[in-house]
Structure 1
Amino acid sequence: MADSDFKDKKQPDYGLETESDDPDSLNTITALVAEDHEHEIKLRTMSWQKTAILLAGDQVCLAIMAQAWSLSVLGWVPGIITILLCAVLFWITSITMHKFIMKYPQIKDICDFGYYVFGKSRVAYVFSAFMLLANNILLIGFHVLTGAKVLNTLSDHSLCTSVFAVIATIMGIVMSLPRTLNHVSSMSMVSSACMGIAILLFLVFAGIESAPLYGYNGNYPTLGPVKTYAFPQAGTTWVACMNAVLNITFLWVPQILFPSFIAEMERPQDFPKALAVLTFISAILFVVPPAIGFRYLGQYSTAPAFGSLGVVAYKKASFGFVIVPTLIIGVIYANVTAKFIYKRTMGKSKHAHSNTIIGWGVWGLVMVGIWLLAFVFSEVIPSMGDFLSLLSAAFDSFFGFIYFAIAYWQLNRGKLFNGVGRSVMTLVNVFIMIVGLFILGPGLYAAVEAIITDYSGSVTPAFTCANMAL
């Protein structure tokens, strides 16, 4: 990476006082959009409404259905407090990110963000790049495995699980071929609708069935009547509680994708409008369905909650709709990942933004490579649930908290305590930094401990044909 990758003769070096409505910043955005629109393949075309749809497509996901389990571990009081606290910190950190990107509109992804937030550090760029690739490819692998689970469940394990994973991988590759997020946004509407139907069906079925069937510690009624509780039950370990917190945190930390989304908006300054829509939707979906799920499943809650349903037909009817968001969310992460690799591969050649055979050929090869690597991870990892906790601790600690506490300091350096409001926000960002470090330290320890426990028991063999249906 060279500094020239980020420099433009028309782009001034912004002072730390620059706000999102600074004329120089807006002029730079206008120049970047005009330059992009001269290309055959135009990227900076999304409206804030399209961006909101894309954000919702990423957030309205299967992880929502794991939150009833988190509540069953933490209980009502710590669980709801954790969800609401994550919501507040999500809004604050996302707005900080947007303000920082408005200072440096040439930022195209989280790697560029890391480069600038750490004072144009190449080390930070390389570190961010590694984290981006590792996080996204592992997440795509998780969606490949989830796709295989859905197909297993719907077909009563009619084929080898590895074959279902291959099918999900091929479907993901084909759906990932569009090169602009504007096109992917159209898929996101279908994704959100299907996940919404799945959640609604689950809530109806959980309410009308006499009792759940499956629980991690025993099937109904071995654990007694369904019950809920305000605090963790006796015997709940610290590792279990920490993993439940990481489960919630994972759902609220999608910011690793946000710089890539903002970079394809025609008016990046409108991103807070899309963010407000996302926060409103998330606040409802991340609280109401998990709360209802916990109410009817209690101590029998599983992750995802579909697995606790006692009637097989109910399970299939609701879980079946998850195949659509599973693949489309994988497509979103694949697009952002491929853009990073493609940009570094093609540089400023005409193939980077034109409909050439070489350009599309390289794009296709990059996408195939990403999905094949994700397929391998999906097959060799014994427990993707624990690895989601690992992802949350190792990656979300940086991309959900630490990076943005530092960005706040960069934006307000020299005036951190100018006035009561600024002083309060400075203390909030100190807290954000502490949360990030806590997740990175004790959180990472808890995630690793859970993985070690999994490996000490019966581990699903790699490339298995075993039935992995819910």
Structure 2
Amino acid sequence: MSWQKTAWLLAGDQVCLAIMAQSWSLSVLGWVPGIITMLLAAIFFYFTSMTMWRFIMKHPEIKDICDFGYYAFGKNTWAYHFTSFMLLANNIMLIGFHVLTGARVINTLSDHSLCTVVFSVIVTIMGIVMSLPRTLNHISFMSMFSAACMGIAILLFMVFAGIEDAPLYGYLGDYPKLGPVKTYALTPSGTTFVAAMNAVLNITFLWVPQILFPAFIAEMERPEDFPKSLAVLSVLSIILFIIPPAIGFRYLGQYSTAPAFGSLGVVVYKKASFAFVIVPTLVIGVIYANVSAKYVYRHVMRGSHHEHSNTVIGWGVWAVVQTVIWIIAFIFAEVIPSMGDFLSLLGAAFDSFFGFIFFAVAYWQMNKLDLFGGLSRSVKTLFHAVTFVVGLFLLGPGLYAACEAIIDDYSGSTRPAFSCANIAI
């Protein structure tokens, strides 16, 4: 891929429904803590991504995040296997999140005309078919349409939120039960640690896509041009990850939901904006499926000429691997009760490693003989030390908060596994 196509692929992965969960995060944290968390996440994202790229330039044999883990931890085989498990678990759960999202979109548009499980099956089959191309170069074209559709959905949401008289509802009650729409600078009193931590995890989840970056760089014509793609993504992300959620919080206030489409007061507005989400839902699932399937396929076909050839056996194995991945993802989609739980669990269990810990270790591996050689190097070393501590915090208290949220959901009135219940927003 050229750096331009890589930028489109990155945008297709990042311009996603999780953006629309950020208004809820702001409603939990308030303006000041929420915006500060977003800006800090942006800073960590850019500099850790550059560290990752520099490390890969020193080890051009790296093909995916598993190879990255292997070299970052000193060519440790256990690190490779651990990272492999994390890669597949993270990606398959993310695909499951998109299966759930797809079913939710169709539920909303059709007024729950069929059992939700049927809608999930439909989305899964569509995902399998769209995942059949084997190169990311082909998928980058899909990403252009994906980013455009999500952009339209976000734009429509902002317009509708601004022109409607009032929101429809929030998690704590229908409008106007919680009073007139209001925003607040600081975190409201009475906010629990679990709620605040899950809001933070929703933000960090959106800013941590680096698990796919080594696979993207491996398929670039000129991997040294990756910083250009990253710069495009960073500017786009800062705009889309802060401005639309801020506008959403401004007009929805304490009635913000995740995704924010659910809070729109006019049903036609909700359907018109949410309909466009089906495209990025499928395409992003396909991107994660492609990276996951490549890892499995490469190990299954290792040493065989089928691995890099257009043979019946090669394509047959590829199709089987994709099918198995999407079926497992479908099961996850039916078992985990809510979209917010998905995001929080992924943010704590996986983003702590793939957004923070791994890159702090990689920095140490590259510079362990000269960690404090001058002011610039000392500042970078301190930054990566903080990065490591943040990763540990997300992994420890963050994972606790995510698990508590899932337990709370199951103890309340949440849909059971493999349910036909309506999950429309």
Q: TM-score, normalised by structure 2?
A: 0.99
Opposite residue 210 of structure 1, the aligned amino acid is: D
- Aligned-pair CA distance for 1:456: 1.3
**1:364 matches 2:316:** no
Q: How does 1:134-153 map to 2 (within 5 A)?
A: 134-153=89-108
Opposite residue 91 of structure 1, the aligned amino acid is: Y
**1:382 matches 2:337:** yes
1:409 alignment partner, one of 364, 381, 385: 364
Aligned partners of 2:406 and 2:17: how far apart in 1?
21
Q: Which residue of 1 aligns with 2:396?
A: 441
- Aligned-pair CA distance for 1:446: 0.8
Q: Which residue of 1 aligns with 2:182?
A: 227
Aligned partners of 2:239 and 2:116: how far apart in 1?
34
1:128 alignment partner, one of 65, 79, 83: 83
Gaps of 5+ in 1: 1-45
Q: Which residue of 2 aligns with 1:53?
A: 8
- Aligned-pair CA distance for 1:115: 0.4
**1:465 matches 2:420:** yes
**1:212 matches 2:167:** yes
Aligned partners of 2:76 and 2:34: how far apart in 1?
38
2:218 alignment partner, one of 257, 263, 286: 263
Moved more, 106-115 or 457-466: 457-466
- Aligned-pair CA distance for 1:202: 0.2
Secondary structure of 2:211's aligned partner: coil
Identity %: 77
**1:326 matches 2:260:** no
Opposite residue 158 of structure 2, the aligned amino acid is: L
2:113 alignment partner, one of 158, 178, 193: 158
- Aligned-pair CA distance for 1:187: 0.1
- Relative to its length, the structure with more helix (as a share) is 2
Q: Which residue of 1 aligns with 2:64?
A: 109
Opposite residue 126 of structure 1, the aligned amino acid is: H
Aligned partners of 2:241 and 2:153: how far apart in 1?
14
Aligned partners of 1:106 and 1:281: how far apart in 2?
30
Aligned partners of 1:376 and 1:403: how far apart in 2?
29
2:199 alignment partner, one of 238, 244, 265: 244
Moved over 3 A (4+): none
- Aligned-pair CA distance for 1:148: 0.4
Q: How does 1:3-402 map to 2 (within 5 A)?
A: 46-402=1-357
Moved more, 200-209 or 233-242: 233-242
Secondary structure of 1:57's aligned partner: helix
Aligned partners of 1:387 and 1:161: how far apart in 2?
18
Aligned partners of 1:157 and 1:317: how far apart in 2?
16
Q: Which residue of 2 aligns with 1:12?
A: none
Aligned partners of 2:238 and 2:317: how far apart in 1?
40
Q: What do residues 109-134 of structure 1 show as CA deviations (whole Å, max 9, x unaligned)?
A: 00000000001101000000000010
Aligned partners of 1:409 and 1:467: how far apart in 2?
49
Opposite residue 288 of structure 2, the aligned amino acid is: Y
Q: Which residue of 2 aligns with 1:24?
A: none
Secondary structure of 1:373's aligned partner: helix
Opposite residue 130 of structure 2, the aligned amino acid is: M
Aligned partners of 2:17 and 2:342: how far apart in 1?
15
Opposite residue 223 of structure 1, the aligned amino acid is: L
Aligned partners of 1:293 and 1:466: how far apart in 2?
28
Q: Which residue of 2 aligns with 1:3?
A: none
Opposite residue 78 of structure 1, the aligned amino acid is: P
Opposite residue 163 of structure 1, the aligned amino acid is: V
Opposite residue 46 of structure 2, the aligned amino acid is: W
Opposite residue 90 of structure 1, the aligned amino acid is: F
Aligned partners of 2:303 and 2:215: how far apart in 1?
18
Opposite residue 315 of structure 2, the aligned amino acid is: W
Opposite residue 314 of structure 1, the aligned amino acid is: Y
Q: Which residue of 1 aligns with 2:373?
A: 418
Opposite residue 290 of structure 2, the aligned amino acid is: N
Gaps of 5+ in 2: none
- Aligned-pair CA distance for 1:348: 2.6
RMSD: 0.6
Q: TM-score, normalised by structure 1?
A: 0.90
